[in-house]
Amino acid sequence: MFKIIKIIGGDKKGFSLKTKVGTSTRPTLNRVRENIFNILQSVMPNSLGLDLFAGSGAVGIEALSRGAQAVTFVEKDKVAFAVIRENLKKTNYLNKSFVFPSSWHIFLKKTTEVFDWIFVDPPYGLDVYHEVIEAIGSSQCLSEGGIIILETDKAVQVKSQINGFICYRKIRYGNTIIWFYKEM
């Protein structure tokens, strides 16, 4: 089953994106995406981004719409992976993106790329938040001054300091919490 969501800003504002509905994917709500990008507006132009657990690709595609130079999408679910490619094709962003049908830990072990921002939104119930941030630090894939954005359920508690990263901002939107981390 699929659901339609909209790009909320930038040059593709109003474009419809397909998203898989199910337990392995959960699209970031429009108001949450809008607030994330309002906070990151100075970082976004010409940035290189990584959308881990990409789902529909909505966050990365929103970033491209708002001026990101390129976004790498990592999604191991085969149906969600196909949806990301379909959404990128529809928005004409295939040439600004890389899509990997991989698990996050394999990707982070192998990547040599460096990103300005990394969005981490694992399926709720998959408690890998600390492990992912530790792996990002070990892989050295975040640029100097780069930002990790973590989306969790309100019940999840994440440490304020993890492997050389510190949470400098935390915002709650209903049942969702967005955590912003940077290097200490």
- Please report which confidence band the pLDDT of residue 19 belongs to, taking 50, 70 and 90 as the band edges: confident
Whole-model pTM: value is 0.93
Please check the confidence at residue 149 and state whether its pLDDT lies above 90. Answer: yes
Q: What is the pLDDT of residues 105-133, one digit of tens each?
A: 999 999 999 999 999 999 877 889 999 99
CATH of 2-183, one of 1.10.10.10, 3.40.50.2300, 3.40.50.2000, 3.40.50.150: 3.40.50.150
CA-angle at 141, arms to 150 and 161, nearest 5°? 45
pLDDT of residue 26 exceeding 70: no
Residue 1 banded pLDDT, cuts 50, 70, 90:
low
Q: Which residues pair with 72 in a beta bridge?
A: 50, 98
Helix 30-39 and helix 58-65, axial crossing angle in degrees, nearest 10: 50
> Domain coordinates of the chain in residue numbers?
2-183
Tens-place pLDDT, residues 153-174: 999 999 999 999 999 999 999 9
Q: What is the 3-state secondary structure (H, E, C) of 123-180?
A: CCCCCCHHHHHHHHHHHCCEEEEEEEEEEEECCCCCCCEECCEEEEEEEEECCEEEEE
pLDDT value of residue 32: 84
Q: Which residues pair with 5 in a beta bridge?
A: 17
pLDDT for position 30: 73
Q: Which band of pLDDT confidence, cut at 50, 70 and 90, is reported for residue 17? A: very high
pLDDT-based confidence at residue 25 (cuts at 50, 70, 90): low
Q: What is the pLDDT of residues 41-87, one digit of tens each?
A: 988 999 999 999 999 999 999 999 999 999 999 999 999 999 999 99
